[in-house]
């Protein structure tokens, strides 16, 4: 298990349990029993989405970046004061990387095209982006997906009460892939069953259509 704590997952930003915090508990120690079934199921859908997204980006990038140990001492970690605001999704920005100026990568684009807009809107609610200005600071992956698929929509974000510089590019999260893969293998059939539609289940898992419909019908 990684010592790394995903900056997407800071409890202090949120006043009530939410799916992204359940995912944090799962990544840290597998714990999710004390949360409602609805929130646990939403966390599983986040898990499956992040796994597929990171696998796609990893396929598109040759140079895999990894997080530094200093992430655990991130300087915004104790900035608990946040305020809700609305931001046009296309204005959200990642840490600059030359590759970020390129068009959507092939495998990444192929995956994102499979996600229904209605599901993406829910996903952003489950993992609200935390920003400083328009820079993505936490819930980076959800912010990245909304930037690509909801570019003209206003989405609710949490703005830090202190100006900080962005620390992460999406490739930095490759370090989570082994854990996400392990959890996915454990919960893959449940993910199929709790997905809002067969279309979403097909996009988020490695099962074919026949298995998707069989699992969802309880056969």
Predicted confidence (pLDDT) per residue in 192-208, tens digit: 999 999 999 999 999 99
Whether 6 is covered by a domain: the verdict is no
**Three-point CA angle 141, 5, 112, nearest 5°:** 15
CA neighbor of 205 nearest in space, from 72, 111, 113, 134? 111
Structure tokens at 12: 């202090």
**DSSP β-bridge partners for residue 85:** 157
- The answer as to whether 97 is a domain residue is yes
- Tens of pLDDT, residues 121-173: 999 999 999 998 888 988 999 999 999 999 999 999 999 887 877 777 777 78
Does 12 fall in a domain? no
Q: Is the residue at 91 inside a domain?
A: yes
Check whether 7 has a pLDDT greater than 50. no
Residue 127, φ and ψ in degrees, nearest 5:
-135, 70
Q: Is the pLDDT of residue 79 over 70?
A: no
The least confident of 9-13, 28-32, 146-150, 204-208 is 9-13
Q: Is residue 149 part of a domain?
A: yes
In a domain, 161, yes or no: yes
Average the pLDDT over 67-72 and give the result. Answer: 41
pLDDT of residue 34: 78
Single out the residue of 54, 53, 131, 126 nearest to residue 92, CA to CA.
Answer: 131
Closest CA to 149 of 99, 201, 114: 114
Overall number of domains in the chain? 1
Token pair in block for residue 18 = 């939410």
> Quick check: is 121 in a domain?
yes
More confidently predicted of 4 and 52: 52
In which domain, by residue range, is 95 found? Answer: 19-217
Q: What's the whole-model pTM score?
A: 0.84
Residue 7 lies in a domain: no
């Amino acid at each position: 298990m990684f010592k790394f704590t995903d900056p997407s997952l800071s409890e202090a930003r949120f006043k009530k349990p939410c799916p992204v915090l359940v995912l944090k508990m799962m990544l840290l120690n597998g714990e999710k029993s004390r949360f409602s079934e609805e929130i646990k199921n939403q966390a599983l859908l986040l898990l499956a989405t992040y796994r597929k997204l990171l696998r796609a980006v990893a396929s598109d990038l040759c140079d895999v970046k990894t997080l530094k140990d200093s992430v655990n001492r991130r300087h915004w970690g104790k900035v608990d004061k946040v305020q809700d605001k609305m931001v046009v999704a296309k204005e959200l920005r990642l840490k600059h990387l030359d590759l970020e100026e390129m068009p959507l990568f092939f495998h990444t684009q192929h995956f994102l095209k499979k996600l229904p807009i209605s599901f993406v809107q829910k996903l952003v609610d489950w993992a609200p982006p935390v920003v400083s200005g328009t820079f993505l600071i936490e819930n980076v992956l959800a912010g990245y997906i909304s930037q690509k698929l909801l570019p003209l929509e206003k989405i609710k974000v949490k703005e830090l009460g202190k100006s900080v510089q962005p620390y992460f590019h999406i490739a930095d999260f490759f370090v989570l892939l082994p854990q996400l893969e392990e959890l996915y293998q454990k919960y893959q059939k449940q993910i199929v069953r709790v997905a809002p539609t067969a279309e979403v289940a097909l996009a988020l898992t490695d099962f074919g259509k026949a298995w998707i419909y069989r699992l969802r019908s309880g056969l």
